[in-house]
Amino acid sequence: MYMSLLQFVIIVAAVIFILFGIDLYKRQKATILHFLVFFGGGATLVLFALDNSLLNKFGSIFGLARGADLIVYISIIVLFYLFIDLYNQHTKDTTNLSGLISELAIQKAYDMYQNYPPIKRKKSNKDMMLFLIRAYNEEQTIEQVIDEIIQAWYHKILIIDDGSTDTTPSIIKRKQEEYTDAIIIVATHHMNRGGGCANKTWFAFLRQYAKDMGVDRVVTYDADRQMDIGNMKDFYHTMQAKPAELYLGSRFIYGSQSDNMPVMRKVILRVSKRVTRIMYGTKVSDPHNGFRILSRNAIHRIQITADGMHYANEINEQIRKKKISYEEVPVHIRYTDYSLAKWQKNSNSIKLAIEMIYKKLFFR
């Protein structure tokens, strides 16, 4: 029987496909399902390459005029499956790497805390509050942010240095030496991991040591000076009037204010509110506002897995699933050229939407 060049290439590719699957299975790099996909797919390709009429008959079952079209469609489906499967593995490997980086950062941060001398100061509600700041190359703003927190009479700060390569670490060290009546702890990520990983490090640290530090609640606070320390009064007022485990800052409820917010940013945030309700069933007006206050109980209940900004979606999802009580608080957000250039790019919203869909539908 005459064999065309195309048939020969398909058969060779199929054999390689089968051998590749066997090799992966032997090295325990693939499950039995992966093996069946590789072996079954390769064997089917060989069978169809040797008998074109069989391929055409099989294709007619699906209403296709040519059996070769069926191979194309099946190949696209298989490739999509393999891509998602490989991306899942990559995501898990990335999560494991972040976990190791977090563990190193947590231990060194606690060692730093233990080396602080006892600070004699009259106890107040503010001493039971810990500010959490993620800093990645924030040399332009980190000093002012630390100053405004301390000058508002808060004395406990935990900073994640998320792999900064500028002078951010030296500025923080200078502030530690300046404010001898405050506790400023630094947990250092030796490579940049993102906002989600910073939250994972915070939460893991606090689950172990918050009680020992006399911390009842924590404030997540940006390092780019977008947030207004004056809003803490509004948070306290809401906490006294409406007890809850979690307090969420909002740019879209009565009493809130946003300076220089771009129109497109408003549109994106409005859309994100609708998407959050559809995807997670959580009715919050500003799902991606980073100004939050969490109780120790909320920290123990919320589990963060994402390294990037998808962590905000995870919080919104767990609010509903774990029935975490929450209240929204109006906040004042200041948009500057600096913050817009660094963090607030509209393209980030597209990336976040893609990750949301991937995590919701495909990640296992």
* Cα–Cα nearest to 235, from 220, 224, 223: 220
- For the domain spanning 104-361, the CATH number is 3.90.550.10
pLDDT over 90 (residue 234): yes
Domain with CATH 3.90.550.10 in the chain: 104-361
Rounded Cα distance, 51 and 49, in Å: 6
Is residue 211 within 8 A of residue 182, CB to CB? The reply is no
pLDDT over 80 (residue 69): no
Per-residue pLDDT band at 316 (split at 50, 70, 90):
very high
pTM of the model: 0.78
Is residue 55 within 8 A of residue 23, CB to CB? The reply is no
Interior/surface letters 62-78, b for 16+ CB within 10 angstroms, e for the rest: eebeebeebbeeeeeee
pLDDT at 306: 87
List Cα–Cα distances, 185 to 49, 51, 112, 150, 328, in angstroms. Answer: 66, 70, 7, 13, 28
Pairing, β 292-295 against β 217-222: antiparallel
Q: What is the average per-residue pLDDT within 3-20?
A: 65
How confident is the model over 169-190, as pLDDT tens digits? 999 999 999 999 899 999 999 9
Rounded Cα distance, 155 and 122, in Å: 12
How confident is the model over 13-46, as pLDDT tens digits? 667 767 766 766 666 656 676 667 667 777 776 7
Of 4-18, 42-56, 72-86, 153-167, the range with the highest mean pLDDT is 153-167
pLDDT at 65: 62
Backbone angles phi, psi at 330, to 5 degrees: -70, 135
pLDDT at 165: 95
Q: What is the DSSP letter of 227?
A: B
The number of residues making up the chain comes to: 364
